[in-house]
A and B are shown apart, each in its own frame.
Chain A
Amino acid sequence: MLKDFKQSILISIWFVFLTFPLMAVRVNTTEQMVEWRWMTILWVAIGSFVLSYAWRYFLAKKQLKKKDDEEGGKHSKLQLLMEDMNFRYKAMGVLLVLALVFPLVFDTYQNTIMISALIYVVLGLGLNISVGLAGLLDLGYVAFFAVGAYSYALLNYHFDLGFWTILPVGGILGCLFGVVLGFPILRLRGDYLAIVTLGFGMIIKVVLENWSSFSFGPSGIANIDKPGLFGMDMNIDSSTIYIYYIMIALVVFTILITNRLKNSRIGRAWIALREDEIACVAMGIDMARTKLSAYALGAFWAGMVGVLFAAKTTFINPASFTFMESAIILSIVVLGGMGSILGVILGAFILILLPEYLRAFSEYRMLAFGAAMVLMMIFRPQGIISGIRTKYEYKELKEETDNG
């Protein structure tokens, strides 16, 4: 007890020292003023004292849990519930109904931010394929999102092509970009891949900014058509509801397909690749092809939802496609639970909707993002909901003939 107390005091003193220049002082050299903020330091002292207790408690709990896992493993109630297929189907049904009646109950603003959240759900699910399943850390994912958005904006501007025509085209273009970019770089090991993809993300933005004759440069493209419905003229409310339903359909489509892929021969190869590359190739899996397929498929979703993004905002410019965007999508995947579809959906809702409703705290949003990423890795690396391993049904050989 006393030892803990002493340690916490020491930690508190350390943090006071650590944060002192940045938290306690503000200088204004032009007006020759130094502002001393002693109160904030007091808060730091108290905060770090309390947090150090919490830190110790959770670390001990994690150790305990690790032991538990080794001795057969216990799952949290939530986890067990999620693994119950029956419950899952019911819950999905309820959620779908809720999602369908949502726009009829709530106003346009609620629909708009819900569309934003759903866009991030699809982005998260797409990135989940390469990061969560195949273990390829992609820090430039937003590049493919940009490819989709710009392909709609440009094709719409130059050739007046409609949303529905471009939706698959955007996905395919994203996918193609994934293949072209992925081909040379996927041989690189994990960490190298991270920095190169980060570079690609930045390069795409630079190109969009500079190549004015192609992309209209930093001033962007305005007046992009909203999705049409048999040439009907829609006001903002109904077109928002329409986009909302398109988005719901897209999310369901994404879930369906990623779920199928995850539980297929290809999906298993991705997961195996994440676990151990050498063992994976020794088992006869073509590493380059498997990596490329994961990377390109992830890019496909980003491209597709990019089209919808352009159609929703009706205006795009390179400023929407920054590294921070990639980081947010990555934190959705990490916080939700790498490899877990349900987790990613939940992650997107928490990370996108919470700041929307808590606009007053929006300054602290990125601070909380960063802290959450660290804490999540330390205390719950599997995310809010960890990936659920499918339990396969198998029968004895004799019974198989009956089934045949």
Chain B
Amino acid sequence: MAEKHKLLEVKGLTMDFGGLRAVDSVSLEVHEGEIAALIGPNGAGKTTFFNCVTGIYNPTKGDILLHPKGLPTRRLNGLKPNKVTEMGLARTFQNIRLFSDMTVLENVMIGRHCRTSAGIFRSIIRDKSVRREEQEIVESSYQLLKKVGLAEFANEFAKNLPYGAQRRLEIARAMATEPFLLLLDEPAAGMNPQETAELDQLICRISEEERIAILLIEHDMKLVMNISNPIYVMEYGKKIAEGSPQEIKDNPKVIEAYLGEETEEDA
């Protein structure tokens, strides 16, 4: 374990909204080849944590460090989301955010944007290099669609896809940005058990075949137990536990957080 390369290192991340502390000094690490999970009850601050890491919010305190392999370390605090993505960190959204009036293929092609270069003038002139680049975008996007099993829908509008397929499309779109770390925000939300099982497989495949490390948020603890290690648990903005699935299962604080959820909700 120890010799694995550390990709993402978050130290003491804190995010305040006015007087409300949504995330309270949370630290977390993701290593190469890992499928890490961040779980916790509703409103624990998981998505806010994601938004801080991907640049949508600027955290109040703490450090977010990215250690790309073979490149110098970068601090992500305050960077714009598109810069974060360029650095190799892509994400999906809890409430699906597809480009609904674009085709499935185009959605993935958008992901290729930051890895291609044709500007306005070159797009107008459309010389050979631009045409080649366009072809490359189409081909690689199509390959990604095949990987997530959506190739047959390539020319459909994204909004016409079934729910589960939309989630997979979001993953394909994120992968098109060539990340080395993929952040998935509740990828299984709203899926039926069969779809969830397929998704688990897909995530494992991405991790193994594409060598992309994954950090995923899940609300439901059971789902992540099969595929994730390590697991981090948040409650009320604080990290309350971390460790292997077995350690988490046995952790009394986690049990309390999940069992106490209903009774303490109104407090």
Q: Do chains A and B touch in the complex (CB under 8 A)?
A: yes
Known: A281-B81, A393-B138. A265 touches B113 (CB 8 A): yes
Which partner residue on chain A sits nearest B111 by CB separation?
Answer: A283
A299 → chain B closest CB, angstroms: 13
Q: Give chain A residues whose Cβ lies under 8 Å from the Cβ of B124.
A: 257, 260-261
Contact with A along B67-109 (1 / 0, CB 8 A): 0000000000000111001100011010001111111011001
A93 to B93, CA, bound (A): 46
Partner of A275 from B102, B113, B130 at Cβ < 8 Å: B102
Within 8 A of B (CB), among A243-298: 257, 260-261, 264-269, 271-272, 275-276, 278-287, 293, 297
Dominant secondary structure of chain A at its interface with chain B:
helix
* Cβ–Cβ contact B137 & A285, under 8 A: no
Contacts of A282 in B (CB 8 A): 54, 56, 81-82, 85, 90-91, 93, 97
Q: Report the tally of A-B residue pairs with Cβ distances under 8 A.
A: 132
A400 within 8 A of B: yes
Q: Would B110 and A269 count as touching, CB distance under 8 A? A: yes
Q: Which residues of B contact A73 (CB under 8 A)?
A: 157, 160
Contact B54 A275 (CB under 8 A): no
Q: Contacts A260-B124, A268-B106; is A275 near B99 (CB within 8 Å)?
A: yes
Please determine whether A264 and B123 come into contact, CB atoms closer than 8 angstroms: yes
B139 within 8 A of A: yes
Judged by a CB distance under 8 angstroms, whether A3 is at the interface is no
A292 to chain B, nearest CB (A): 11
Q: Classify the secondary structure of B's interface with A.
A: helix
Pick from B25-33, B114-122, B245-253 the stretch touching chain A: B114-122
Knowing A282-B91, A284-B82 are in contact, say whether A265-B114 is a contact too (CB < 8 A). Answer: no
- Does B154 lie at the interface of the complex (its beta carbon under 8 Å from any beta carbon of A)? yes
A305-319 near B? 1/0 per residue, CB < 8 Å: 000000000000000
Per-residue interface assignment for chain A, residues 160 to 172, with 1 indicating a CB less than 8 Å from any chain B CB and 0 otherwise: 0000000000000
Report chain B residues within 8 Å CB of A158: none
B49 in the interface, Cβ–Cβ < 8 Å? no
Q: B131: shortest Cβ distance to chain A, in Å?
A: 10
B5 at the binding interface (Cβ < 8 Å): no
Which residues from B are CB-within-8-Å of A266? Answer: 118-120, 123
B interface vs A, CB < 8 Å? 54, 56, 80-82, 85-86, 90-91, 93, 97-103, 105-106, 109-116, 118-120, 123-124, 126, 130, 133-134, 137-139, 141-143, 154-155, 157, 160, 173-174, 176-177
8 additional contacts (CB under 8 A) given A283-B174, A284-B114:
A261-B120, A266-B123, A275-B99, A275-B101, A283-B113, A284-B82, A392-B106, A397-B143
**Measuring CB to CB, which residues of chain A are less than 8 angstroms from any residue of chain B?**
69-70, 72-73, 257, 260-261, 264-269, 271-272, 275-276, 278-287, 293, 297, 389, 391-395, 397, 400
